[in-house]
């Protein structure tokens, strides 16, 4: 399933920006937003494509889709909904189980250097040997995801 890097959409700040007058911007954001890098519709279309790629990888295998809270909840919700639509379009069924894990490494907007995972050893053990799709919103340095993957690998 890995996508060839040549197919990635590279978002570089200076490359292209949409002007604000092309969009409806809620008033409470007006002082904070200068331009739009990626419009909402494009993001949703890419999530839909990602869902198609994911569902085409599994052939009636049980998949645990695990949301990394708190930040990943909206992306997770959108992805799961698009996965269901993709399965419907493909005429496939795929047993999907939803799970949630809280991983915290930031205090306010600063990395604390510590990674706290809010699942018990028993809960982590129950994920062992399963097809696990971790859904995270942003990977900044990769330290949090690395720690989570190490922890899951030990269980």
Radius of gyration from C-alpha coordinates of the chain? 18
| Sign, Cα dihedral of 136, 139, 145, 147 | negative
Mention every residue, 6+ apart, whose C-beta is less than 8 A from residue 59.
92
Q: Report how far residue 94's alpha carbon sits from residue 88's, in angstroms, rounded to the nearest whole number.
A: 10
Q: Report how far residue 87's alpha carbon sits from residue 58's, in angstroms, rounded to the nearest whole number.
A: 10
- Specify whether 140 is catalytic: yes
Asked if 115 and 144 count as a contact pair (C-beta separation under 8 A), the reply is yes
> Tokens in use for 86?
């993709």
10, 14, 109, 140: the catalytic one is 140
Would you please indicate which residues are annotated as catalytic (active-site) residues?
Answer: 140
């Amino acid at each position: 399933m890995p996508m060839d890097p040549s197919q990635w959409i590279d978002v570089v700040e200076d490359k292209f920006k949409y002007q604000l007058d092309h969009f409806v911007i809620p008033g409470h954001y007006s002082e904070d937003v200068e331009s739009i890098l990626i419009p909402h519709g494009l993001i949703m279309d890419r999530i839909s494509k990602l869902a198609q790629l994911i569902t085409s990888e599994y052939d009636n295998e049980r998949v645990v889709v695990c949301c990394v809270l708190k930040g990943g909840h909206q992306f997770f919700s959108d992805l799961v909904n698009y996965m269901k639509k993709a399965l419907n379009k493909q005429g496939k069924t795929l047993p999907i189980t939803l799970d949630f894990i809280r991983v915290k490494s930031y205090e306010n907007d600063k990395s604390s250097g510590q990674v706290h995972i809010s699942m018990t050893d028993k809960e982590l053990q129950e994920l062992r040997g399963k097809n696990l799709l971790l859904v995270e919103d942003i990977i900044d340095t990769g330290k949090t995801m690395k720690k989570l993957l190490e922890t899951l690998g030990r269980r």
